[in-house]
Structures are given as C-alpha cells and as structure tokens.
Amino acid sequence: MALIAVGVNHEHATLDFLERATVPEHEWGKVLRTLVSHRNIHEAVFLSTCLRTEVIADIDFFHGAIEDVTMTLAEATGIDVVEFHDRLSVHFDRGVVTHLMRVAAGLQSIVPGEFEILGQLRRALELAEEEHTTGQELRELFHRAIATGRRVRTDTAIARGTTSFAFAAVSMALDELGPAIRDADVVVVGAGQLASGVVKSLLNTVAEVNRVSVVNRTRERADALVASLGDPRVVARDYGSLVELVAHSRLTIVAAEAPSPLLTHDDLATAKGPLLVIDLGIPRAVEADVADLTTVRRLDIGELQARIERVIDERRDAVEDARRVVDADVEKFLADRRARGAAGIVRDLRTHFDEVVAAELERRAPELSTFDADELELVRSIVRSVVAKLAHRPTIALKEFAGTDQGVRLADATRSLFEL
C-alpha cells in the first residue's frame, strides 16, 4: 500500500473553481464513505476549506486511485470530471508526507503560518475516525503533521505578525477604512473558527470600535461565541435581522459557509451610508454585482491574497526556517515508517527461528539427557547465538529497505523462503 494526496488548492486553481469545488462539512461523511467503497482505497481523510479541497488516502494502485478520487470529487461537487484534470494537485508517498506537513506548518497557505489550518486538519481527521475511514497509517501521519505545525509556530518566526486569515482580513479593513473605523458598528456573519478569529482580531486591534454584532443561522452558536469573549461590545443578533444590521453598519465581514449568497444586491441597496463588505466565503457569500452600488465597496479573498504578498516578502527567512523544520520531521517520519513497515516481517522471522530452535532441541532431548543443567544451557546458548548471527543480516536488510520497492521484494522473498 502507498499514500496519495489528490485535490485542488489556491496554488493551481482559480478562486472561481475553488468556490465550485467546496464541499460543505455536513457532506464530508458521504464523500469519505464513497472513497473507501472503492477497492483500491483502504483509508481516506477528506478536507474541504475555502482554499483547498483534498483527499489523503492509503491506496494500492496509483493511477487507479487518482481516477477513483477524481470521480468522487466530481460527484460530490457536481463538476465535470474533465474540469479537474488541469487543476489537480497530486502527491505520492513521500510527497504526501512533505505536502501535509507543509500544509500544517502554514507554508501552503495564503497567509504564511496561519493557524486556522491546524484546526481544520484536526476536524478532518476526527470526521474520518467517526466514519471509520482511517487507520493507523493516516492517523499517525496526521498526528505527526499537526505536531510539526505546532513546532514550526513555536520554533520559528513564521507566526509573528499577520498569522491568520482572520487577522489579515481585519488588517485589510483597517487599511481601507482608517479613522472611519472608530465608533463604527461592525457586523460579523458566522460563528465558526474563522468568524471567531475575525471578532477577536477586531477587539484586539480596534479599541474604538462601537459594537460588533455576531449573526449566525444558528443563534445558539452566536450566543456561545459572544459568551466566550465576555466583551460588552460584542452582541449576538438573530439571523432575521441581518439585512437591517448590515444596512446600518460601516463594516460587514462575512465569514460563513453557505451554498448560496447570504447578502444580495437588493439587500445591500438598503445601506444607509458608505459600507465596506469583506466576503471571506467560498462559495461567495455576497453577490458580486453589489459592486454596482455606489455606497458599497466589496472585497473578497482575491484582494486579500494580493495584499498578503508583501507579508510573504517580509517573512522569507522565517519561511526558510520553517521549511527546515518540516524537512527534518519528514525524514524522521519516513524513517519511523520504514521501521514500522519492517517490524512485522522481522518479528515473524525471529519467531520462526525461535520455533525451529525450540523444536529441534525438543526433538534431540533424548540425546542430551546425560548433560547436566549447565551443559544443557551452554548448548542452548550456542544454538541461539548461531541462529541470531544467521538472522542478523536478513533483519538489517529488511529494516534498511523497508518502504522501498527493493524492501517489498526482500519481504516477499523472506516470506517465501521461510514459509512465513
């Protein structure tokens, strides 16, 4: 079996395509069940965020697995399978380990070092475990990748400054509004991790903000977010009041997932004054044609990505440090994986030798009956020592080449030769 990662992300696909390829979290379970229904796919973890939709899987055959995954993605998103061909990002075996650890480290994010991805990876693994589509191989890989992501943020400077998608969005709002943000009413749509990050960033960077209204389809989640913050400037409001709240706000940030726009041209036409709307949703949560309104300025992830380019320039040294941490952890994981891969065959080989020694000593017991205890133990020691020396080289070779094509051939030959 081997590892494969197949999907689309912001590095190889347009935001329009990523918008169409996003799969709501409540449908992830169905995608996982479909993936492992293919005989070629043994384990799978599925992740779909605003900037990546990806499958990490343990498979048998490379090309067949790509086809199975692509067909599953096409079915889940309603996109013709042909449209995926030129946009797919594909990694195999070692490349999967490197890719996932770089993702966890924030090296594959629009904002270098952003921390939301760690929570997204944890959630993807949790769902795979709930659906029983992951085993020891992928579980270990994800745990190690998440640990690497934490270490990168602790041991390097990549997590300094603008370190999250949410913070970058708030910084963009401040750049746009300047002093106008003071005493402003702000609306944040959503109550998940991204929305929570937006509200916290607003409170930490804009001391003069008047009120932040949190609006979510499920009022309970908005109430829980507000309660966790304990700031009187933050209030939860009913979803039915969204249009009215936005009409009286100076800034609205949409950080929610929705299959169709939450704010339309007609909704925003009611704005009472200049309004900045930042749409962090993929699919887009604010209709693009609101740009026709003279009182409304709409920004989305495209503009955010362009502004973040300067952050990347500022962090080149930190990025290189992070890559070195990732590279070291990749090598460590692969070495441990090779050792795990060899453990089974080595254990079986040693058990076989022990059984042969025990059976032969028992068979020759009558001939050894005249030996006293010390002499008998000496014979047993000599036999075990000879067998251990004979087994040493095969054992070392199996460990050295585990995880490679030659290792597979050695393991097959060992099992055949010794009838393991």
Angle between helical axes of 193-205 and 165-177 (0-180°, round to 10): 50
Give the C-alpha separation, 339 to 341, whole Å: 5
Reading the block at residue 2, the tokens are 């081997």
Q: Residue 342: phi, psi to the nearest 5? A: -85, -20
Reading the block at residue 269, the tokens are 């036409």
Q: Is 50 a catalytic site residue?
A: yes
Q: Which residues pair with 4 in a beta bridge?
A: 57, 92
Q: Does residue 7 contact residue 52 with C-beta atoms inside 8 Å?
A: yes
Listed in order, strand segments (DSSP E) in 197-328 are: 211-215, 234-237, 251-254, 275-279, 296-300
Position 393, amino acid: R
Following DSSP, what letter does each residue of 259-277 receive, concatenated? Answer: SS-SB-HHHHTT-SS-EEE
Listed in order, strand segments (DSSP E) in 233-356 are: 234-237, 251-254, 275-279, 296-300
Helix (H) or strand (E) holding 373: helix 373-400
Give the C-alpha separation, 202 to 196, whole Å: 10
Reading the block at residue 250, the tokens are 């100076």
Reading the block at residue 365, the tokens are 């017991």
Closest CA to 296 of 283, 285, 286, 309: 286
45 SS3 class: strand
Reading the block at residue 389, the tokens are 């020396």
Write down the catalytic residue from 31, 50, 127, 159.
50
Question: How many residues appear in the chain?
Answer: 420
197 SS3 class: helix
CA distances from 279 to 48, 192, 251 (A): 18, 15, 11
**Residue 193: is it exposed, middle or buried by C-beta count within 10 angstroms (0-12/13-18/19+)?**
middle
Helix boundaries (H) for 88-135? 94-104, 116-130
Position 21, amino acid: A
Closest CA to 176 of 268, 116, 252, 270: 252
Reading the block at residue 224, the tokens are 């829980």
Active site residues: 50
